[in-house]
Amino acid sequence: MSIKGNIIIGQSGGPTAVINSSLAGAIQASKDAGVEKIYGMHYGIEGFLHEDIIDLREKVKTASDISLLKRTPSAFLGSCRYKLPKIEGHEDVYEKIFEILDKYDIQYFLYNGGNDSMDTVKMLSDYAAQHGKPQKFMGIPKTIDNDLPVTDHCPGFGSAAKYIATSLKEIMADSECYGPYRTSVCIVEIMGRHAGWLTAAAALGTKTPDLIYLPEVSFDPEAFVKKVQELAKTKPSITIAVSEGIKLADGRFVCELGSTSDKLDAFGHKQLSGVGTYLASLVSEKTGIKARAIEFSTLQRCASHIVSRTDAEEAFNVGYLAAKKAFEGNTGSMITIQVTSRNPYLVTYDQFDIHEIANVERMVPLEWIINDGTYVSDEFIKYGRPLIMGEIEPYFSEGVPQHLSLD
């Protein structure tokens, strides 16, 4: 392969605990291939449009920088939630992008993100094809939501799943400490507005909740309260994992029930509240049992102090391979992970046409959701368990993990 010109890498969408491992992989591949200039988009394509570009040979110089980058949460380069407009009628945006690419002699463009970000790769590679532009565009998969199609799973999911399984085990031990002397319900709210992969990860640990509700099946508040009452007859401490995205049969989000416009606080402000808080209120009201809600919030995607080594290594590899495939002349594809064996766990990597991936969401298979929509099956455990295996120790300084920073 012959390298022509420079490379740029961008990070997009909500970060994961290992998105920077993919960046590390892409940087490493570029160094290995002898690319002269390795650029980073500061705040994704949004920053790129403002020509906000970072010299990554300056910012990630040494092998120990690479090590630290792998241990750094959030998007090292900064991220964005900017969706490119369609080409027709917005040619000026695309012309500007290619002007900047030409100005910096950028021949390889890697974009790391989820469904929306793969749309950016699709649009740019389409425009390049239509206008005879030489640049290569490759997608690097990333999302804690695990909802990209084609690939077996997405980098970022395994680490979020490990955080969830670990934290749940700890929370449950805590909740159970008063034994038979106190009955209580703990509702744990987990991210995933449409797909339930992350909430299903609640089943991956060695101490797991009593009930698990995914957004793939509709939620019945009455049946839910009945289940809790039934469990409370024999168990003093009940833990329930719910996706933020669970919906009623009529399509309304359950979290909407908790925030109607007539609900104002003492100062007349509208209250915000999530589905966990709402269901805890519902349980208290209907059963009299003390209930609390715990929301993992952004912790589940930024806890780089407890990443999955499997996930981090795969994140590195998809970043590395995206660069390598681009150098080999490929464009308009995303790197995918294929699992060739679940036990022992073995993978290969491939690439796939971005048109089949962009904007498509993959849900948890309905046959993996069991017990009237209140748990996940062993098939899910077999699928998910390998993804949370292994650890990467943080480097600590002043008692907290060290991170690499742009400043």
Q: Restricting to residues 168-187, name those near a second copy by CB under 8 A.
A: 169-171, 173-182
- Minimum separation from the CB atom of position 324 to a second copy (A): 27
Q: Taking CB under 8 A as the rule, does residue 306 contact a second copy?
A: yes
Each residue 90-129 as x (binds a second copy by CB under 8 A) or -, in order, gives ----------------------------------------
Q: Which of 32, 55, 65, 145 is catalytic?
A: 145
Classify residue 347 as exposed, middle or buried by CB count within 10 Å of its CB (0-12, 13-18, 19+).
middle
Is 102 annotated as catalytic? Answer: no
- Minimum separation from the CB atom of position 137 to a second copy (A): 22
Each residue 57-76 as x (binds a second copy by CB under 8 A) or -, in order, gives ---------------xxxx-
Q: Taking CB under 8 A as the rule, does residue 6 contact a second copy?
A: no
- Minimum separation from the CB atom of position 387 to a second copy (A): 8
Q: Taking CB under 8 A as the rule, does residue 155 contact a second copy?
A: no
Q: At CA 298, angle to CA 161 and CA 359, rounded to 5?
A: 75
Residues 242-301 that bind a second copy (CB under 8 A): 256-260, 263-267, 269-273, 277-278, 280-282, 284-285, 292-295, 297-299, 301
Q: With respect to a second copy, which residue has the nearer C-beta, 24 or 29?
A: 24
Is residue 31 within 8 A of residue 325, CB to CB? The reply is: no
Is residue 360 within 8 A of residue 381, CB to CB? The reply is: no
Among 10, 15, 40, 113, binds a second copy (CB under 8 A): 15
Is residue 163 within 8 A of residue 296, CB to CB? The reply is: yes
Is residue 229 within 8 A of residue 287, CB to CB? The reply is: yes
Q: Taking CB under 8 A as the rule, does residue 303 contact a second copy?
A: yes
Q: With respect to a second copy, which residue has the nearer C-beta, 26 or 302?
A: 302
Q: With respect to a second copy, which residue has the nearer C-beta, 155 or 401?
A: 401
Interface with a second copy by CB under 8 A: which range of 55-63, 107-115, 159-167, 369-377? 159-167
Q: With respect to a second copy, which residue has the nearer C-beta, 260 or 359?
A: 260
Q: With respect to a second copy, which residue has the nearer C-beta, 127 or 213?
A: 213
Residues 22-51 that bind a second copy (CB under 8 A): 42-43, 46-47
Q: With respect to a second copy, which residue has the nearer C-beta, 113 or 332?
A: 113
Residues 215-234 that bind a second copy (CB under 8 A): 221
- Minimum separation from the CB atom of position 127 to a second copy (A): 23
Residues 364-403 that bind a second copy (CB under 8 A): 385, 388-391, 393, 396-403
Q: With respect to a second copy, which residue has the nearer C-beta, 169 or 355?
A: 169
- Count of residues that interact with a second copy, criterion CB under 8 A: 86
The residues annotated as belonging to the active site are 145
